[in-house]
């Protein structure tokens, strides 16, 4: 698991932009990093692929926007069981692969709790498995993911499930606004 002894490191500090890389927990893939970008009093933190860990909460503290991986553990477990039940080598291999990824990715509720613990303004759920390719899947995923009506009682922030082409713009201080738009038609 992540420890605070493996603190982050500033990897870029130029023209007012500061990027800090920090280790996250994504074993067996190592190293795995999250990133925090600070510019003129505004900040964006990117979790990378991770399960909840203290580093992420530490480096995301009071960030304006947290981009966080989130997979639907129930659906992925179902796929794992379905493939394993085939009883052949291909199914067994895919079943184990789907089962393994549960150990190193967060689910939406864990991401929401991380955002609450870090006092994040806006949480963007991304790297969503299964992918949300069309409106029907997006609707079912919102119901099945447990994000419909999901909340952390002590968090005042908001969250959104990302789709390809979404863009967020942080307005300069003193504004705390974060605009959402699309760079491509959805």
For each of the chain's 186 residues, which pLDDT tens digit applies? Answer: 545 545 788 999 999 999 999 999 888 888 899 999 999 999 999 998 898 888 999 999 999 999 999 888 888 888 899 999 999 999 999 999 989 988 888 988 889 999 999 999 999 998 877 666 666 666 665 555 555 555 566 778 888 888 888 899 999 999 999 999 998 765
- Asked if 148 contacts 160 with a C-beta cutoff of 8 angstroms, the reply is no
Scan for tokens 């919102």, then name that residue.
142
Paired with 123 in beta bridges are: 66, 159
Tokens of 161: 């499930």
Beta strand pairing call for 42-46 and 33-39 = antiparallel
Scan for tokens 């933190």, then name that residue.
45
Q: Examine residue 28 and say whether the peptide bond preceding it is cis (omega within 30 degrees of 0).
A: yes
Q: Going by C-beta distance under 8 Å and a sequence separation of 6 or more, which residues neighbour residue 15? A: none
Q: Going by C-beta distance under 8 Å and a sequence separation of 6 or more, which residues neighbour residue 19? A: 10, 11, 12, 13, 35, 36, 37, 38
Paired with 19 in beta bridges are: 12, 37
d(CA 158, CA 148): 12
Whole-structure pTM value: 0.85
Neighbours of 128 (CB within 10 A): 21
């Amino acid at each position: 698991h992540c420890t605070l002894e493996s603190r982050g490191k500033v990897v870029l500090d130029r023209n007012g932009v500061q990027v800090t890389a920090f280790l996250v927990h994504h074993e067996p893939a190592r190293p795995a990093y999250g990133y925090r970008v600070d510019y003129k009093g505004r900040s964006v933190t990117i979790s990378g692929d991770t399960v909840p860990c203290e580093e992420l909460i530490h480096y995301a503290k009071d960030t304006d926007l947290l981009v966080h991986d989130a997979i639907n553990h129930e659906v992925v477990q179902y796929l794992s069981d379905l493939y394993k039940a085939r009883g052949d080598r291909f199914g067994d291999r895919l079943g184990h692969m789907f089962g393994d990824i549960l150990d190193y990715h967060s689910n939406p509720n864990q991401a929401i709790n991380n955002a609450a613990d870090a006092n994040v303004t806006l949480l963007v759920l991304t790297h969503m498995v299964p992918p949300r390719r069309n409106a029907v899947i997006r609707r079912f995923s919102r119901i099945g993911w447990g994000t419909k009506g999901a909340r952390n009682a002590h968090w005042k922030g908001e969250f959104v499930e990302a789709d390809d082409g979404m863009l967020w713009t942080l307005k300069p201080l003193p504004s705390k606004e974060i605009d959402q738009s699309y760079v491509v038609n959805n």
